[in-house]
Structure 1
Amino acid sequence: MSTQPEVLEELEEKYRLYLGIPRHLIPWFPTIDPEKCVGCKECLKFCHDNVYAFNEETKKVYVAHPWHCQVYCQSCTHACNKDAITFPDRREVKARIRELREKYPLA
């Protein structure tokens, strides 16, 4: 996953910023454990932000658009009955956002 500035340009406008912070700097997105994923696609159907895609070769879901994930949203975890989806520690992400707020204050 790239965190380079060009990532920001590739993102649709609604996904570019979170509280004035470039979204690609905030490490909040799901991780799928391929050992637990059974390819049921429930997370893919559930997520309205197009975070997931299905790999026809592996028959598994993967995180295709991590920066589309809404910061602090974990709703898709409820759609996965195999507990294959995890998220970063909220406290660590909050601390990172606090650091970034100093660099990117709201106008």
Structure 2
Amino acid sequence: MIEDSELKDKFAEWMGIDRKKIDWNSTVDPEKCAGCALCVIGCGRNVFEYDFENEITVVENPYQCKVGCTTCGTYCPTGAISFPKEEYVRKLIEKHGLTEWAREKIFGK
């Protein structure tokens, strides 16, 4: 199993951008959370932890959330997990020239 410190190092950047400068992460509405823990188990980036006292999921490592990923929100049975609008990611891609950056990585151009 990967240690938290390894994950923090591994996910410190997203496409060359300091992850802490990107305002993208999941939010859990405690009123809607049913405490099923699907998100805790399903997230390979260790974003969530389970709060046993309150029997809900909490966001523990927001900067480990993959920019643009909404998988946990998709399978949350109560709709308790939300994200910034997708347009935020599109603007980020445009602002930082990430389309060109990706082409250079893939095609060397």
Gaps of 5+ in 1: 1-9
Instruction: Give every structure 1 segment of 4 or more consecutive aligned residues whose post-TM-superposition deviation is greater than 3 Å.
Output: 96-99
Amino acid at match of 1:37: C
- Counterparts of 1:8-23 in structure 2, within 5 Å, are 12-23=8-19
Identity of aligned residues (%): 37
What is the aligned partner in structure 1 of residue 65 from structure 2?
69
- Counterparts of 1:46-61 in structure 2, within 5 Å, are 46-61=42-57
- Counterparts of 1:90-101 in structure 2, within 5 Å, are 90-99=86-95, 101=96
Which TM-score applies when normalising by structure 1?
Answer: 0.77
Deviation, structure 1 residue 11: 6.6
Indicate conservation of the 8 Å contact 2:26/2:81, yes or no.
yes
Indicate conservation of the 8 Å contact 1:52/1:62, yes or no.
yes
1:48-86 deviation digits (Å, cap 9, x = unpaired): 110000112211100000111111111111221100011
Question: How many residue pairs get matched?
Answer: 95
How much is the aligned-residue C-alpha RMSD, in angstroms?
2.3
What is the aligned partner in structure 2 of residue 29 from structure 1?
25
Gaps of 5+ in 2: 1-5, 102-109
Deviation, structure 1 residue 28: 1.0
**Partner Cα separation in structure 1 for residue 78 and residue 19 of structure 2:** 29
Deviation, structure 1 residue 32: 0.6
